[in-house]
């Protein structure tokens, strides 16, 4: 079972300004992820996508603005508390801990969980969902194929049974076959009732899986809309994505 329960809470970042040292990278960014949807943030290198994720996760300070998850104000809350509310993340390029086994990588994903029986039960649920990980559970993560590594990194993020999963460029560095596999998993998570925030540079495949999208340019949202309307917006493609 991928999800214990259907997502019910909306994530909203409202007018968020954040950055590093004295420079603001995000300048009043407003995005929301409605429960049970796949929402994407598109943008070129350096647009501020990772900064936005880090800020939502409490790893970067919110200088101005608000972040809500359901009724909870989570701006500047410690990251482990945000995670405990039901927000999980899959790191950029699906990183795993290469010198640890598949099993131990999953245990790391469950570190925040106090109940060890719950950790074991959750691992069993994820092995049902990703049987290949069960087969490889004693293998070092660094020896897995690219696709299996993505799967592990996603399963690790799911250990805490989150309501919202934030993906940071999951297709980064993957061959086209594995990219399709990752987007396939995103679809399965949505079908299971989870909310997904997907940050990507891979415009076409992302808009195929997303319900709604935002385009981030130099720390500001310059366009937003249903995935279908963004797909058909030729101006947007020419101006920001460098494609026809």
CB nearer ligand ATP, residue 18 or residue 154: 18
- Strands 220-226, 212-217: pairing kind: antiparallel
- Single out the residue of 50, 89, 94, 105 in contact with ligand ATP (rule: CB under 6 A): 50
CB atoms within 10 A of CB 71: 7
Q: How far apart are CA 200 and CA 42, in angstroms?
A: 5
Rounded Cα distance between 207 and 213, Å, is: 8
Q: Is 116 exposed, middle or buried (0-12, 13-18, 19+ CB in 10 A)?
A: exposed
Site membership for ligand ATP, residue 43 (CB under 6 A): yes
Element (H, E) at 166: strand 164-168
Interface with ligand ATP in residues 1-20 (CB under 6 A): 20
Q: Does 45 bind ligand ATP (CB under 6 A)?
A: yes
58 binds ligand ATP, rule: CB under 6 A: no
**Listed residue (47, 12, 127, 52) closest to 136, CA to CA:** 127
Q: Choose which of 6, 8, 46, 61 interacts with ligand ATP (CB under 6 A).
A: 46
Pick from 9, 37, 42, 48 the residue near ligand ATP by CB under 6 A.
48
Stretch that binds ligand ATP, among 44-52, 100-108, 119-127, 138-146 (CB under 6 A): 44-52
| Residue closer to ligand ATP, measured from CB, 65 or 70 | 65
Q: Which residues bind ligand ATP (CB under 6 A)?
A: 20, 25, 43, 45-51
């Amino acid at each position: 079972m991928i999800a214990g329960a259907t997502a019910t809470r909306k994530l909203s970042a409202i007018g968020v300004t954040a950055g590093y040292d004295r420079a603001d990278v995000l300048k009043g960014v407003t995005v929301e992820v409605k429960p049970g949807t796949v929402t994407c943030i598109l943008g070129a290198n350096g647009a501020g996508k990772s900064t936005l994720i880090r800020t939502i996760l409490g790893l970067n300070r919110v200088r101005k603005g608000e972040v809500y998850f359901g009724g909870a104000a989570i701006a500047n809350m410690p990251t482990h508390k945000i995670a405990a509310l039901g927000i999980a993340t899959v790191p950029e390029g699906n990183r795993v801990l290469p010198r640890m086994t598949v099993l131990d990588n999953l245990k790391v994903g469950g570190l925040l969980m106090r109940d060890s029986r719950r950790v074991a039960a959750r691992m069993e649920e994820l092995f049902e969902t990703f049987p290949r990980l069960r087969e490889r559970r004693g293998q070092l993560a660094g020896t897995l194929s690219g696709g299996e590594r993505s799967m592990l990194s996603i399963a690790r993020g799911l250990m805490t049974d989150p309501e919202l999963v934030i993906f940071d460029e999951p297709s980064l560095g993957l061959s086209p076959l594995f990219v399709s596999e990752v987007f396939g998993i995103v679809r399965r998570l949505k079908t299971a009732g989870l909310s997904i925030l997907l940050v990507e540079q891979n415009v076409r495949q992302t808009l195929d899986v997303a319900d709604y999208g935002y385009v981030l340019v130099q720390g500001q949202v310059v366009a937003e809309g249903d995935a279908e309307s963004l797909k058909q917006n030729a101006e947007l493609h020419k101006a920001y994505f460098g494609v026809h």
